Copies of this chain bind each other. A is one copy, B any other.
Amino acid sequence: MSTTQAQQQAFLADFHSLSTFGATKGGGVDRQAGTLVDGQTRNWFRGLVEGHGCTVRYDRVGNQFTLVELVPGAPYIAIGSHLDSQPLGGRFDGAYGVLAGAHAALRLREAFLAGGETPLYNIVIINWFNEEGCRFKPSMMGSSVFTGKLPAEQVLATTDPNGVTVQQALESIGTIGDFSLEVAAYLEIHIEQGRSLEDDGLTIGLVESTWGANKYEFVVHGEQAHTGATEIADRSDALLGASALVVAAREIANQFTTDEHMVITSCGEFTVFPNSPVVVASRVNLLVDVRSTDPAVLAAADAELHARVAKIEQWASVRIERGAEHIWAAKDYDARGLTLAAASAESLGLPYGTVRTRAGHDSTNMKDIVPTIMLFVPSVEGISHNERELTSDPDMLAGVDLLTDLAQRLVTGELVRP
Contacts and interface: CB of A to CB of B under 8 A. Distances in A.
A193 interface: yes
Contacts of A225: 383-386
A240 B247 contact: yes
A398 to B, nearest CB: 20
A219 to B, nearest CB: 15
Contacts of A17: none
A359 B240 contact: no
A230 B194 contact: yes
Given A269-B276, A271-B275, A384 B232 contact: no
Nearest to A265: B232
B274 A86 contact: yes
A385 B225 CA distance: 5
Nearest to A357: B229
Contacts of A242: 243
Contacts of A229: 192-194, 357-359, 382, 384-385
A158 interface: no
A346 to B, nearest CB: 26
Contacts of A271: 272, 275
A192 B387 CA distance: 50
A234 B266 CA distance: 13
A224 interface: yes
A171 to B, nearest CB: 24
A250 interface: yes
Contacts of A138: 277
Interface residues of A, number: 71
A239 interface: yes
Interface in A115-146: 132-134, 137-139
A261 interface: no
A228 B281 contact: no
B268 A382 contact: no
A159 interface: no
Contact of A269 (B257, B264, B275, B357): B275
Contacts of A224: 88, 385-387
A25 to B, nearest CB: 14
Given A231-B262, A280-B385, 8 more contacts: A87-B276, A137-B277, A193-B230, A224-B387, A227-B385, A228-B264, A228-B289, A268-B278
22 contacts: A86-B274, A88-B274, A133-B277, A194-B230, A224-B386, A224-B387, A225-B385, A225-B386, A226-B359, A226-B386, A228-B358, A228-B360, A229-B358, A230-B382, A231-B382, A232-B250, A232-B257, A232-B264, A237-B250, A239-B246, A242-B243, A266-B278
